[in-house]
């Protein structure tokens, strides 16, 4: 039987054309879905930040009797158990530019960070405090540091503390890079992930390995943040917590440390 090659060719040509049109429509559909997904991710991040912000304010308002533990001996840096309750007026006299939790004047601009929510202390879960640190759930702050993929560029990081099934989850979210979110069960692990990315992305060999300072990077060592946390009545229920050991003046530390300061990191990379 003689094959009609011309007819077969036309049929194949028609099929190829249909496949091309179908493929083009699929590409367009995928592009639209990716665009919608990107918009949904941005909206989700915005909603999460707003939710955590408002939840932090509402939960912070629970502490109606506010006080700040302070040692009568001004040379002592540890918090003692027999300290007296301080009123909001006393707190304001000592730190006039610190809003009390009841004031709800967030975001709070500090030295190198912007605090959006102070969060809530979870005293019943021992994972959320140590002998020298308190990790409030819902804590949100932003700060400027080097971009993990390009250390020469500045990047705004959102620092968060979440409750992941009873275990703290520290997050560092680079601005406009939802796929580059850094996680860690401790502040140091999360900060180390960022430093590893920076060390891996630079072409220059670093003389000394950068050591993480997670709590400082998240802003938990800031004296005003510590004062706000200490003013929560739940602090007495944190059985492991013995008091902060870092000095209140961390500004010099942050400004001269390449793991915390963008400007100092640039000088460090040029060495």
Specify the pLDDT at position 240. Answer: 92
Predicted confidence at residue 145, as pLDDT, reads 93
What's the pLDDT at 246?
A: 66
Query: What's the CA gap between 116 and 156, in Å, rounded?
Result: 14
Give the predicted TM-score (pTM) of the model.
0.61
pLDDT at 80: 37
Provide the pLDDT confidence category of residue 97 given band limits of 50, 70 and 90.
very low
Contact 144, 156 (CB under 8 A): yes
Q: Which fold has domain 108-269?
A: Double Stranded RNA Binding Domain (3.30.160)
Instruction: Give per-residue pLDDT as tens, 98-157.
Output: 444 444 467 888 878 889 999 999 999 999 999 999 999 999 999 999 998 888 888 889
Could you tell me which residue, 210 or 78, shows the higher pLDDT?
A: 210
pLDDT in tens, 14-66: 889 888 888 888 988 898 888 888 788 777 766 766 665 555 444 444 433 33
pLDDT for 173 equals 92
Q: What is the pLDDT of residues 239-248, one digit of tens each?
A: 999 988 766 5
Provide φ and ψ at 166, rounded to 5°. Answer: 90, 0
Torsion of CA 222, 197, 158, 189, to 10 degrees: -50
Contact in structure between 201 and 265 (CB atoms under 8 Å) = no
pLDDT confidence of residue 87: 37
Q: Quick check: 198 and 182 in contact, CB under 8 A?
A: no
Least confident of 89-103, 123-137, 189-203, 212-226: 89-103
The residues spanned by each domain of the chain are 1-53, 108-269
Contact 127, 166 (CB under 8 A): yes
C-alpha 163/C-alpha 76 separation (Å) is 33
The answer to whether the bond into 107 is cis (omega within 30° of 0) is yes
Strands 150-164 and 108-109: unpaired
What's the CA gap between 138 and 54, in Å, rounded?
Answer: 10
For residue 206, is pLDDT > 70?
A: no
In this model, does residue 194 exceed pLDDT 80?
yes
Cβ proximity of 173 and 179 under 8 Å: no
Percent of the chain scoring above 90 in pLDDT: 32
In whole angstroms, give the CA distance from residue 204 to residue 34.
36
Angle at 237 between CA 132 and CA 229, to 5 degrees: 55
- Token readout for 38 is 């990107």
Q: Calculate mean pLDDT across residues 203-217.
A: 78
Position 186 confidence tier, pLDDT thresholds 50, 70, 90: very high
Residue 175 has pLDDT above 80, yes or no: yes
Share the mean pLDDT of the chain: 77
């Amino acid at each position: 039987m003689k094959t009609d090659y011309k007819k077969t060719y036309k049929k194949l040509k028609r099929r190829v054309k249909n496949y091309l049109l179908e493929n083009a429509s699929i590409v367009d559909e995928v592009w639209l879905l990716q665009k919608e997904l990107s918009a949904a991710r941005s909206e989700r991040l915005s909603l999460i930040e707003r939710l955590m912000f408002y939840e932090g304010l509402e939960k912070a308002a629970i502490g109606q009797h506010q006080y700040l533990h302070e040692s009568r001996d001004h040379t002592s840096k540890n918090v003692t158990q027999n300290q007296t309750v301080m009123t909001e007026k006393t707190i304001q006299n000592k730190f006039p530019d610190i809003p009390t939790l009841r004031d709800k004047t967030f975001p709070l601009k500090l030295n190198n960070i912007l605090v959006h929510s102070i969060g809530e202390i979870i005293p019943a879960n021992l994972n959320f405090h140590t002998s020298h640190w308190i990790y409030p759930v819902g804590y949100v702050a932003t700060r400027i540091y080097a971009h993990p993929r390009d250390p020469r560029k500045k990047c705004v990081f959102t620092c968060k503390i979440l409750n992941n099934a009873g275990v703290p989850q520290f997050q560092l979210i680079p601005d406009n890079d939802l796929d580059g979110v850094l996680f860690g069960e401790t502040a140091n692990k999360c900060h180390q992930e960022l430093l590893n990315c920076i060390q891996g992305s630079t072409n220059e060999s670093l003389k000394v390995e950068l050591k993480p300072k997670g709590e400082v990077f998240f802003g938990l060592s800031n004296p005003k943040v510590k004062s706000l946390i200490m003013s929560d009545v739940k602090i007495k229920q944190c059985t492991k917590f013995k008091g902060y050991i870092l000095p209140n003046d961390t500004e010099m530390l942050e400004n001269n440390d390449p793991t915390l300061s963008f400007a100092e990191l640039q000088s460090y990379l040029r060495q």
